[in-house]
Structure 1
């Protein structure tokens, strides 16, 4: 892990603007340096950007039309092909909570899940990563399994987490120590 380029916002700088910025994703009791964690705590240095990003991210995590399982398959594959160890590690317990087994998580990482829908999601992530689009065959297959809102949530989940992974890596955000 690289050294941090920006540290999370210091406790004495958490003001109403910082607490408001993290409110789209965090409950009131987590709107503080410890509750926010290192990623959100670092983003809180730029309240306007943080509020806008977390509003988007909260939709993908809390209001997506995808099942939590499919979201986590897409997200894990996205942060594997555009590597972000922090997000991979952070989402492992979330993936387990969404019903993925260790073997299924390993298959997402290797790119060869046994489940046909998981395999399709992995293929879609790989295409988005490799060519920044989806082939007609993949689009058709996705449309056979998901409605249009789910396809949109899938595409935006991949992009959102790859963008967040780039920020986490570029900023040198460190894993939590608690």
Structure 2
């Protein structure tokens, strides 16, 4: 598969080189997604400013559940695969949890009760662009308002990421997981 918009190539603008290197673990090339966006520095900076790539109110495992589920529901295999490759082991995902991010329902046995609520929230946001009162009440009893805002924003942001990677047909990173490996 060839990307519809080619990624930037070295030499990058000096500020872009520094940013791209800082974003990635040592020894891993900047993501195709980042390099593609780096072709237009304004869009790249806006993307990074909205990316919630900081220590938020959720734990890393909760964040990854939300991100992976949002990408999976959108068919965003590129971004899902990168997150599975770089974070799944770190947050304690085995094959069962990874497959559950792709599952049709949100009630996989591998998730805790709170994690099931997060998956249900992502699914409702994906399906209806809102969260019904019943689910909101269950979530509000377990998560703080800042956490609920973060889940909502993460879901929306990773929908946008999925739209970008799908529309531009970014090929998977060489190390990324693939849907077919866990379906």
Normalising to structure 2: TM-score of the pair?
0.83
Of 81, 86, 101 in structure 2, the residue corresponding to residue 89 of structure 1 is 81
Unmatched 5+ stretches in structure 1: none
Alignment of 1:104-123 (within 5 A): 104-110=97-103, 111=105, 112-114=107-109, 115-123=112-120
Of 42, 55, 58 in structure 2, the residue corresponding to residue 63 of structure 1 is 55
**Quick one: higher RCO (CA 8 Å, sep 6+), 1 or 2?**
2
Secondary structure of 1:36 counterpart: coil
Which protein is richer in helix relative to its size? 1
Whole-angstrom distance in 2 between the partners of 1:136 and 1:19: 46
Cα RMSD, aligned residues only:
2.3
Query: Deviation at 1:82?
Result: 0.8
Alignment of 1:1-178 (within 5 A): 2-12=1-11, 14-19=12-17, 22=20, 26=23, 35-57=29-51, 60-93=52-85, 94-110=87-103, 111=105, 112-114=107-109, 115-177=112-174
Secondary structure of 2:70 counterpart: helix
Show CA shifts across 1:27-80 (max 9, x none).
7x78xxx732211011101111111211221xx232221111111111111111
Determine if contact 2:33/2:165 at 8 Å carries over to the other structure. yes
Whole-angstrom distance in 2 between the partners of 1:46 and 1:19: 13
Query: Deviation at 1:22?
Result: 4.7
Query: Deviation at 1:122?
Result: 1.1
Matched positions, count? 170
